[in-house]
Structure 1
């Protein structure tokens, strides 16, 4: 079991939708976040006059299932945020795109971050966001700022790890590592890599079959699993997710018209995964079964719960 961590959150104005700061014990970093509507208050904070990296986050207008993100750096974050907020910002900048609704900036409490440090961090953050693929990134290709001394690179690696720890706590998931089980074993039929067993499901009518594991709170369908060729006739909210996976190349057409998962993909729930594979609404808690026992996902989950909280005996 991984070691626990303490994160200190502070509601600056006492409301859950206002400015928020976050700190981790024994980390020199300091996080400040808030809605764009509070930008005038945010830029007056002392943190905004420091050197740091920042994130502009908003919904993707072309896909409401994921966020759109811009990652930047500055030695005067307040100045940069004001520039991004100008309606007349030129096309191609984050301001010109005008998508963002939230801002998050990371600075250092001891103010030891230099311009070179944050350029290096920005480059790494852009690379990670592209690799993870949880958001639509506005930035282009990350520049290589690898001219830091070895000791500074080690410090920035630790700093980066803390950023990736605290941001998901604040609701920013775009840097959270996506575990890909199939890349860590010889084939999708390898041993499970977590406490979760392998779950399987077939949709014989459409010639589809799939395998999955529950990892880090997400339901991950494994590479090589197959799905229905097209979404069915009944409209459902998961239809957009199906189309997104096709557009992103996660689902590709193979012989017979079926779709195949080209890589592991993490769904928010077993039902979301089942719906994409069946091409219709589906109850994943019943459709998915444990490969070794045939238990439904629901029965397996109940068994896990009962093993730690046994039902009281009746008199």
Structure 2
């Protein structure tokens, strides 16, 4: 069983859309995040005068359905953020809407540490595949003593723990069903039974599975060749998956998933498979039993021990 931990969040100006700081007990790191509209206030914070790594986050200009992330480092983050705030033609970056800065409370994070972290973070963002990486060619900076690399490995682990809590998922690796092996005690994985969705009229069969709260449609599943639903809903997502070759043509009637793909909900997955709006809670059936996703989920609740629940 994995061990819980506490994260301390502080709303700097008392509002949920303003500046926010985050800390983990027994970690020297400190996280500061806020919207670009609060940049003038953010750069005046003492953290911005320290050495650290930062993330610029916003919609991808080429695909508004995806997020673009730029990873940077500096020993004077405030100055670097001012440069990024300039127009694109003046060397700045236009896409970002939020910034997240990670520094050290004990101020022992050096320029070399920051460059090492930046190098590792760029690689993690690229391999996770949850966003468009705004950096150019990543450099591999490994010029640190062995003891420092061990310290930075722990520091990096804490960054990957706290950022998703703040709504930044781009460092979180996808636990794809096809790559998840037997559960590890150190890193337990929550997985559902297999689900099947069939559209007999169009000879479509797809399989799905929920892994750590994300609903995946499995590689090899079939989907309708065209979107036939309304212009709203998941039409944009359907077209995006076709453009990115997640859905590839198999026949005039079918597309096939070239890899496992994580959806935000069973209904989003069902809509893409069916090519129209669909209720995923009733469309997906537990493989072999015919139980709906909704009934399976309800069963998880009713099977709880009432005595344990009362305690």
Q: Distance in 1 between matches of 2:291 and 2:156?
A: 41
Q: Does 1:293 align with 2:289?
A: yes
The Cα of 1:134 is off from its aligned counterpart by 1.1
The Cα of 1:309 is off from its aligned counterpart by 7.0
2:298 alignment partner, one of 296, 302, 308: 302
The Cα of 1:268 is off from its aligned counterpart by 0.7
Q: Does 1:126 align with 2:103?
A: no
What residue ranges of structure 2 are gaps of 5+ in the alignment? 183-188, 307-311
Seen in structure 2, the aligned counterparts of structure 1 residues 284 and 147 have a Cα distance that, compared at 3 Å, is same
For residues 216-271 of structure 1, what are the alpha-carbon distances to aligned partners after superposition, in whole Å with 9 as ceiling and x for unaligned?
Answer: 11111111212111111532320101111111221111245521212111111000
SS of equivalent residue, structure 2 residue 119: helix
Q: Distance in 2 between matches of 1:88 and 1:242?
A: 31
Q: Distance in 1 between matches of 2:61 and 2:202?
A: 32
Q: Distance in 2 between matches of 1:279 and 1:256?
A: 14
Number of the residue aligned with 1:138: 134
Q: Distance in 1 between matches of 2:96 and 2:39?
A: 12
The Cα of 1:89 is off from its aligned counterpart by 4.8
Number of the residue aligned with 1:189: none
Number of the residue aligned with 1:39: 39
- In angstroms, what is the RMSD of aligned CA positions? 1.8
Q: Distance in 1 between matches of 2:245 and 2:142?
A: 31
Number of the residue aligned with 1:54: 54
Equivalent positions of 1:171-182 (< 5 A) are 171-182=167-178
Q: Distance in 2 between matches of 1:39 and 1:66?
A: 23
Number of the residue aligned with 1:149: 145
Number of residue pairs matched?
Answer: 300
For residues 9-54 of structure 1, what are the alpha-carbon distances to aligned partners after superposition, in whole Å with 9 as ceiling and x for unaligned?
Answer: 0111111111110001111110000111111111011100111000
SS of equivalent residue, structure 2 residue 256: strand
Q: Distance in 1 between matches of 2:246 and 2:128?
A: 13
- Indicate if the aligned counterparts of 1:206 and 1:229 stay in contact, CA closer than 8 A: no
Q: TM-score under structure 2 normalisation?
A: 0.91
For residues 85-137 of structure 1, what are the alpha-carbon distances to aligned partners after superposition, in whole Å with 9 as ceiling and x for unaligned?
Answer: 112654xx5x24x0111111000111111111111111111111111111122
Number of the residue aligned with 1:21: 21
Number of the residue aligned with 2:271: 275
- Indicate if the aligned counterparts of 2:202 and 2:253 stay in contact, CA closer than 8 A: no
- Indicate if the aligned counterparts of 1:11 and 1:19 stay in contact, CA closer than 8 A: yes
2:256 alignment partner, one of 251, 257, 260: 260
Number of the residue aligned with 1:209: 205
Seen in structure 2, the aligned counterparts of structure 1 residues 88 and 173 have a Cα distance that, compared at 3 Å, is closer
Q: Distance in 2 between matches of 1:194 and 1:77?
A: 38
Q: Distance in 2 between matches of 1:24 and 1:233?
A: 46
- Indicate if the aligned counterparts of 2:223 and 2:273 stay in contact, CA closer than 8 A: yes
Q: Does 1:229 align with 2:225?
A: yes
Number of the residue aligned with 1:84: 84
Q: Does 1:162 align with 2:154?
A: no
SS of equivalent residue, structure 1 residue 182: coil
Seen in structure 2, the aligned counterparts of structure 1 residues 110 and 57 have a Cα distance that, compared at 3 Å, is same
Q: Distance in 2 between matches of 1:256 and 1:207?
A: 12
